[in-house]
Amino acid sequence: MTKRISLTQYLIEQQRLHGHIPSQLRLLIEVVARACKRISISVNKGALGDVLGTAGSENVQGEVQKKLDIIANEVLIEANEWGGALAAMASEEMEGIYVVPNRYPQGEYLLLFDPLDGSSNIDVNVSIGTIFSVLKKPDGSAGVSEDDFLQPGSQQAAAGYCVYGPQTTLVLTVGDGVAMFTLDREQGSWVLTADDVQIPADTKEFAINMSNMRHWAPPVKHYIDECLAGKTGPRGKDFNMRWIASMVADVHRILTRGGVFMYPWDQREPEKAGKLRLMYEANPMSFLVEQAGGASTNGRQRILDLQPTKLHERVSVVLGSKNEVDRITQYHLDAKT
């Protein structure tokens, strides 16, 4: 029988043998994983747990909050605030940062999360998830402020997501490749089920919300037109399309079998760079994708190099199989628009 490696064992190995993670970061990741387990239990209860439907409130982005958005946010805050590893947290569902109250031990890390990604899929029983990003509080800064969070994604100490699908899977990077852990519900533990995950450089599968086609910029339209032309077109191969409308689930497919994911800028709201949020959606996913050998840009620049200017900043996203992302980025650079 093959040896089962738990998340704890994996993290201890990363800490001891490879020197990648300090003990405070290891504890932080374990607490996030425990919170995801609790969120997974709520997700699974569905209508039986009265967790479906809207909460009757809006978040800072003007989006209607679902009950599970709020539940997941609370679970993550409660689990992490007394863990001792954090100075503050930030979330899609909270306007400002949440400073760890001084009755709890203060740590040196900052945690950002999208507590429930894919909210439109909650009530229809389609895969949803939690995305998280870990930064280190800048050295020497007294107290903690929103500015401390505004670091490029290349500074992330760890990132990951949990997908609540047919299986509950936690996907993690601490900057040394990507590992996947499946929740064993009977044992209540995370078991390592894939290590050194690699995204193939080429693909025949794209993910984009095609209903927005008439609003896209020309380089995006150019790329998708070529894919749709199939075998007899310039690409010389047929492409398949998938769009789950949960970034977590779409990225999970790409980490598992390759593909390219795009949520580009479009003309509906030209003043917005994109729909997705830089700091707790695009940055953690870009870190994971790059660690798995893929690429991630905003059409022009590497996402991990972008300097954030505000907590809830939005960004255009192109990520996945490297050769495809390079091609789409080149189309944007050639168009100079």
The response to whether 146 counts as a known ligand-binding position is no
With a CB cutoff of 8 Å and minimum separation 6, the contacts of 142 are none
CB-nearer residue toward ligand FBP: 223 or 280: 280
CB-nearer residue toward ligand FBP: 209 or 307: 209
Distance CA 29, CA 125 (A): 27
Retrieve residue 94's tokens. Answer: 């909270």
| Closest residue to bound ligand FBP by CB | 247
Distance CA 230, CA 237 (A): 5
CB-nearer residue toward Mg ion: 114 or 148: 114
Question: CB 179 → Mg ion: shortest distance, Å?
Answer: 22
Contact residues for Mg ion, defined by CB under 5 A: 92, 114, 116-117
The response to whether 118 counts as a known ligand-binding position is yes
CB-nearer residue toward ligand FBP: 209 or 330: 209
Closest CA to 323 of 294, 299, 298: 294
| Closest residue to bound Mg ion by CB | 117
Do residues 7 and 160 lie in contact, with contact meaning Cβ atoms separated by under 8 Å? Answer: no
The response to whether 139 counts as a known ligand-binding position is no
CB-nearer residue toward Mg ion: 120 or 125: 120
The entry of ligand FBP, Mg ion, none that residue 297 binds, CB within 5 to 8 Å by partner kind = none
CB-nearer residue toward Mg ion: 92 or 250: 92
The response to whether 269 counts as a known ligand-binding position is no
The response to whether 117 counts as a known ligand-binding position is yes
Distance CA 250, CA 255 (A): 9
DSSP string, 201-254: S--SEEE--GGGGGGB-HHHHHHHHHHHTGGGSTT-S--EE---S-HHHHHHHH
CB-nearer residue toward ligand FBP: 131 or 306: 131
DSSP string, 271-290: TSS-SEEIIIIIHHHHHHHH
Closest CA to 301 of 321, 320, 284, 315: 315
The entry of Mg ion, ligand FBP, none that residue 120 binds, CB within 5 to 8 Å by partner kind = ligand FBP
The three-state secondary structure class of 204 is coil
The entry of ligand FBP, Mg ion, none that residue 167 binds, CB within 5 to 8 Å by partner kind = none
The response to whether 281 counts as a known ligand-binding position is yes
C-alpha dist (Å) from residue 218 to 224, 225, 278, 320 = 10, 10, 23, 20
Contact residues for ligand FBP, defined by CB under 6 A: 63, 92, 114, 117-120, 209, 245-247, 263, 275
The entry of Mg ion, ligand FBP, none that residue 55 binds, CB within 5 to 8 Å by partner kind = none
Q: Is 267 exposed, middle or buried (0-12, 13-18, 19+ CB in 10 A)?
A: exposed
The entry of ligand FBP, Mg ion, none that residue 269 binds, CB within 5 to 8 Å by partner kind = none
The response to whether 119 counts as a known ligand-binding position is yes
The entry of ligand FBP, Mg ion, none that residue 246 binds, CB within 5 to 8 Å by partner kind = ligand FBP
The entry of Mg ion, ligand FBP, none that residue 205 binds, CB within 5 to 8 Å by partner kind = none
The response to whether 275 counts as a known ligand-binding position is yes
Radius of gyration of the chain (CA): 20
Overall residue count recorded for the chain in this entry: 337
Annotated binding site for substrate: 117-120, 209, 275
| Positions at the binding site | 92, 114, 116-120, 209, 275, 281
